[in-house]
Structure formats: C-alpha cells, structure tokens
Chains A and B, each alone.
Chain A
Amino acid sequence: MLDLQGYGPRLIEGAGVTVQLAVLSLILAIILGLLTASAKMSRNWLLRRTATVYTTVIRGVPDLVLMMLLFFGGQIGVNAISDLLYYNYEIDIYINFNAFTAGVITIGFIFGAYMGETFRGAFMAVDNGQIEAGKAYGMSNALVFRRIRFPQMMRHALPGLSNNWMVLLKTTALVSVIGLTDMVRVAAEASRATHEPFVFLIPVAVAYLLIASVSEWIFARLQKRYDIGFGGQ
C-alpha cells in the first residue's frame, strides 16, 4: 500500500485548502464576471473602457506575477490605507493580508476577466424578444434579470464556466509558491524531506484529476437542469 510516512493527514488538510480556495475564488470570479459583462454591454463609455482595460491587462500578465504583486505588495498597500485612515480620521483598524486572501483575490480577479467574456457571450445569446416580453408583463428590471435573463443566460454560459473552473482549479496550485500550505506545497515539502517525490506528487496529481472528474459530473447535472425546455442536447 501507499506509505505516506505520516504526511497523510497534512495532505488531506492541504486538499481541503485547495478546494476552499478554488470555490471562494470561483464565487469572486463569477461576481466580477457578471459585473464585467454588464459593464461591457453598458451604454456608458467609461464603464466599457474600464472593463476592456481590466480584461486586457489581466489576460496579458502571468497569474504568478499578479499573485506575487498582490501578496508581497498587498500588506504594504493595506497598511498605507489603514495609516491614512488613522491619521486623518482616527479610525484604528488592522487588516492582516495573508497568503489565502491574496490567493483568493488574485485568482478571483484573473478568472473574473475570463468569466466576463463567457457571460457577455451568453447574455447576448438570450433572445431580445424574451426580455421585451418580460417588460411587457410589467416586470421590473431586477425581476427580468432574475426570472428571464439569468436562467437562460446560464444555459449558454455553463460550458464556458465549466472550462474556466477546470483552469482555475489548476491555477490554485500556484498559491503554494507564495507560502500557502495547499496540497501541492505539502507534497513538495514531503518529497524534499523524504527524497521520494513520486510517492507524494503522483497522488496529488491524481487528486486533481479526481476533483476535475467530480466537478465534470456536477456540471453535467447543472447543464441538464438549465437545458429544461430545450429538449436537451
């Protein structure tokens, strides 16, 4: 059997960190993606421009560089803001900018840019007549969004969303570089300490494949749910 030399519990804890990080970043990415998509489709020139600059810059710079910028620079930036608040308004707050926060924010921001493109395409695929029909029924904008645009948009967005999630999951491995003990970091430490890299690194690789397969199954079920009324594919 596989001998993990006492690293088993830590590896499982690390896997937990990976999953938490991935899910939290996904939530942030979806929120940012919806905002970006709305900004890109807005009539306001400034909003459109800002969204374009955001997606272009994020997609032009490596994730690791952004992560390091935020992790190493984040605490300095946060301290500067809390100093400013203290000297000018006597508000005393201390924010600890740790590796987990930096990881979630960076990954969320990176994939927010990709999600923005996915959602924009999906929103445009919803027939305009449906939205007009909703308005004709006297629905408010918020209600039209919740009952008509969002459910139908999701049908078109899910394949792209699932793709982005798979890439996001693999990107979480990078947080091990800025010091967060996810499963990659535990495995790398264990391989250095025991000189048996394959024993630790291959199970972690398999764990990634496993998480990917489980999420593929979940996305297939979601797709079925959102395809209701379209005869499935």
Chain B
Amino acid sequence: MLDISAWFNDLLADNLIFTPTTLGYYWEGLVTTTQLVFLSLVAGLILAVPLAIMRSSKHKWISLPVYLYTYVFRGTPLLIQLYIIYYGVVFIDGIQETFLWPVLKEAFYPALIAFTLNTAAYTTEIFRGAIKATSKGEIEAARAYGMSQNLMMRRIILPSAFRRALPAYGNEVIFMLHASAIASVVTLMDLTGAARFVYARFYAPFDAFLFVAAIYLCLTFAILYFFRFLEKKLLAHLRPQNS
C-alpha cells in the first residue's frame, strides 16, 4: 500500500495541474458521468420495450402517439430538451409542495429525466426496426403452433429482435456517453464539468481537456469491446461456420 502511494506521489511530483486534488475532481466526475449514463440507459431501455411494441402496432391510434414522441425527441437537440426540463420543472403547478421537489431541485434529476426520455426515443426506433425485421417464417411457425399474440411476442419476436438490435444499441450507448457531456452545462460536475473546472482554475486548456478526452476514449473502447463480446456470444449462430 505504501509502495503505491509513494509511486503515485513520485508520478505527480512537480506537476502543478494534476495534483491529487484535481485528480479527485476527475474521479468524482467519472462517478457522476457513469451514474448518469448507466441509470438513463437502464430507464430508457425499460421504457423503450413497450413503446417499441406499441410503435409496431397495426392500429394507428396506438402507433401514432409513440411516433410523434420519437419524432420530436430525435428531431430536436438534447440540449434544448435538457433546458426545457431543467428550467421548466419549477413551473409545474404545485410541484414545490410535493415530496418530489427536493429530488427535482438538484440538477442531477432533471438531467437524468432528459437523458432517459432522449435515449428511450432512439432505442424505441432501434427496437422497432428489429421487430419489423423478424422473418415471416418464424411468425407463421409460431402461429401454426397455436401461440397467442402475447406468447409469440414473448417467445419468438422479442428475443430475436433484441439480438438483432444489439449492434445498433451499442452505438446508442456510446452516443449517450458522449451526449452526457452536456450535463456540465447545467452545473453538474460530470467528467466534462471537472475538466472545465480544472481549465478555469489553471488556465490550461490542453492539459484539462486532453486528459478528459483520453478518459472518454478509454470508456468508449470499453463499451465497444463489451458489445463486441456480447455480439460474439449472442449472435454466435449467425457466424459463418468454419474450422
């Protein structure tokens, strides 16, 4: 233990910018970014599955509202959505008296809501594409076995649609990580927020932002390899058979 801290102090010796204090800011930023991205992705995924099923419905009155939702959230910048929720939440009548207020007052939750709604819209469209691409033969086979609509959705369509959506969803996860940088605009101390703080403190743009860019790059690669691993496992049946 002593060895490591001695090594660490050696590494940081004579470094005016990257002191243990500023590295602490970056660490806190990493934690905030990870929480924000992870929670919004999970919530977005949970929302997206029923929405995608509704979006693929034959009935216009079910699919149209979902289409409008995805159209608006995919057609406008995330920054605008964040501003609307961050500045707008105060103006919901009576919200300040409810139990939700202490939660919504902080920047973290408006940002989380904005990110969740945004990623849910993109994920819905990804899943819809995957559901639509289910081969006719599989559906006919399920019908021939006498499966009900629900059972077919659960056993046949969704499992294969999830697999087909995997590559596109991996891109969406990376996109979300990058989009989360705008959380720093509403005073959140995420990774980018930490970099802005260090920049402002030392007036060292290259050190502050190149360092954070390297962290993002590592995170991106980690996500990329995780999804490659998942694809290898889950899409094994689609690989060409050799050796």
Q: A209 at the A/B interface (Cβ < 8 Å)?
A: yes
Q: Which residues of A contact B196 (CB under 8 A)?
A: 68
A65-B209, A72-B209, A170-B76 known; A198 vs B195 contact (CB < 8 Å): no
CB 8 Å contact bits of B155-197 with A (1 = contact, 0 = none):
0000000000000000000000111111011000000100110
A64-B84 in contact (CB<8A): no
The residues of B that contact A201 with a CB separation of less than 8 Å are: 80, 83-84, 87-88
B residues within 8 A CB of A170? 75-78
Interface residue A218 (Cβ < 8 Å from any Cβ of B): no
Identify the closest chain B residue to A207 (Cβ). B76
Q: From the candidates B72, B91, B199, B217, name the one contacting A205 in the complex (CB within 8 A).
A: B72
Q: Does B24 belong to the interface (CB within 8 Å)?
A: no
Task: Report chain B residues within 8 Å CB of A109.
Answer: none
Residues of the A chain whose Cβ atoms lie less than 8 Å from the Cβ of B8 = none
Residue contact B75 to A209, C-beta cutoff 8 Å: yes
Q: Interface size (B, Cβ < 8 Å)?
A: 36
Chain B CB within 10 A, most for which of A66, A69, A204, A212: A69
Chain B residues lying within 8 Å of A176, measured Cβ to Cβ, are 79
Tell whether A73 pairs with B83 under 8 Å between CB atoms, given A62-B192, A64-B192, A208-B76. no
Residue A124 CB within 8 A of the other chain: no
Kindly report which residue of chain B lies nearest to residue A201, judged by CB atoms. B84
Residues of B participating in the A interface, judged by any CB pair closer than 8 Å = 71-72, 75-81, 83-84, 87-88, 91, 177-182, 184-185, 192, 195-196, 199, 205-206, 209-210, 212-213, 216-217, 220-221
Does B212 contact A173, Cβ atoms closer than 8 Å?
no
**Complex contact B84–A205 (CB within 8 A):** yes
Chain B residue at minimal CB-CB distance from A204: B80
Contact of B181 (CB < 8 Å), options: A65, A195, A209: A65
Which residues in A have their C-beta under 8 angstroms from that of B88?
Answer: 197-198, 201
Interface of A, helix, strand, loop or mixed by DSSP:
helix
Closest to B221 in A: A60
A68 touches B77 (CB 8 A): no
- Chain B nearest CB: distance from A174 CB in Å? 7
Q: Could you jot down 13 A-B contacts, CB within 8 Å? A: A61-B178, A62-B192, A63-B178, A63-B181, A69-B210, A69-B213, A173-B77, A177-B182, A184-B79, A197-B88, A201-B83, A205-B76, A208-B75
B206 / chain A contacts, CB cutoff of 8 Å: 69, 73, 76
Interface: A125 (CB within 8 A):
no
Give every chain A residue within 8 A of B79 (Cβ-Cβ): 173-174, 176-177, 184
How distant is the Cα of A208 from the Cα of B72 in the complex, in angstroms?
A: 10
List residues of chain B with CB within 8 A of the CB of A195: 91
Contact (Cβ within 8 A) B195 A68:
yes
Q: Which residues of B contact A214 (CB under 8 A)?
A: none
Task: Give Cα A166 to B217, complex, Å.
Answer: 24
Q: A68-B199, A72-B209, A170-B75 are in contact. List 12 more A-B contacts (CB 8 A).
A: A61-B178, A65-B212, A65-B216, A69-B213, A72-B205, A171-B77, A173-B79, A174-B77, A177-B79, A177-B182, A184-B80, A205-B80
> A172: which B residues are within 8 A, CB to CB?
77
**A188 pairs with B182, CB closer than 8 A:** no
Taken together as a complex, chains A and B put the C-alpha atoms of A187 and B179 apart, in Å, by 20
